[in-house]
Structure 1
Amino acid sequence: MADIVDTAVKTGSFNTLAAALKAAGLVETLKGAGPFTVFAPTDEAFAKLPEGTVDGLLKDIPQLKKILTYHVVSGKVMAADVTKLKSAKTVQGSDVKIDASNGVKINDSQVTAPDVAADNGVIHIIDTVLIPA
């Protein structure tokens, strides 16, 4: 198996996320031992942001890091475990809300593909970029 970053890159739908992780200097961290749980927004999720947002974030590395680390939870939290939770503390320090009443939502984002295995954790693919308060 591959690590979280390589697993995401191989799927082909995380080019924006991969570029953002590289710009923020987080690639090596997410290639580390972990384990990590990543709520990974697709390229389509990033495209839903207002025009210019991604370019702006790529120039504002502290804010970019804050947003990216808001998508990561320490430990390997599989979908079966996520559905039992109401919230989870992110690496960024804030909590994300979890609603498993109709599929699984992380804040306002729908999990479209859970439990994508990586050798240092798990990826849950989401349809909207999570923005911390």
Structure 2
Amino acid sequence: MKKLISAFIFVVLSASAMAGHHGKSGHKDIVDTAASKEMFSTLVAAVKAADLVTTLKGAGPFTVFAPTDEAFADLPEGTLEMLLKPENKQTLVKILTYHVVAGKVTAKDVSAMSDATTVEGSQVSIATDMGAVMINDAEVIKADVMTSNGVIHVIDTVLLPDDVKAAL
């Protein structure tokens, strides 16, 4: 699970590195952006294990709250390894799609929101406090990493839907 989340974060951070470029030309998609950043190796591995590569390479647009490898490493011991097992694919898909919002939601857009519905179907809370943007309990550490099919916001914590949290 930690590697999956880290890979996801890597994708977000990779996109953040390109935040200064807002046009679509020349940008990699969400998956390629994440894969190009070492900090998202766990997230990328998780996206592959969940068979979500094709989806996240699609037209979108998507907004991805991408946890870093460090965020995945902060999960309880053994959680990431358990989630990466083929028999836990549905739970992994649920967690990863909980990090994705349909549409392109930039930092400017987020500042005016109090929540957002994820692709998984649940809502995440959004709060801003003294310049910090929080998605549930995760802080956005890098915003607006633009990609050809959306935007990545790098976060410091893996987001878990309530029913998954209760099961861990």
The 3-state SS of whatever aligns with 1:68 is helix
CA–CA distance in 2 between the matches of 1:71 and 1:20? 12
Structure 2 counterpart of 1:14, one-letter code: F
Structure 2 counterpart of 1:86, one-letter code: S
Structure having the larger proportion of residues in helix: 2
Query: Which of 64, 71, 78 is the matching residue for 1:38?
Result: 64
Query: Which of 145, 163, 166 is the matching residue for 1:116?
Result: 145
Report the CA distance between 1:12 and its aligned residue.
Answer: 1.6
CA–CA distance in 2 between the matches of 1:111 and 1:7? 17
Using the size of structure 2 for normalisation, the TM-score is 0.78
Deviations 1:33-82 (A, max 9, x none): 00000000000000000110001111210000000000000000000000
Equivalent residues in 2 for 1:1-133, closer than 5 Å: 1-59=27-85, 60-102=88-130, 103-133=132-162
CA-based RMSD of the aligned residues comes to 0.6
CA–CA distance in 2 between the matches of 1:22 and 1:11? 15
- For structure 2, the residue ranges without an aligned partner over 5 or more in a row are 1-26, 163-168
- For structure 1, the residue ranges without an aligned partner over 5 or more in a row are none
Aligned length: 133
Structure whose alpha-carbon radius of gyration is higher: 2
- Percent of aligned pairs with the same residue? 62
Structure 1 counterpart of 2:90, one-letter code: P
CA–CA distance in 2 between the matches of 1:5 and 1:93? 21
Using the size of structure 1 for normalisation, the TM-score is 0.98
Show structure 1 runs of 4+ deviating over 3 A: none
CA–CA distance in 2 between the matches of 1:16 and 1:24? 12
The 3-state SS of whatever aligns with 2:84 is helix
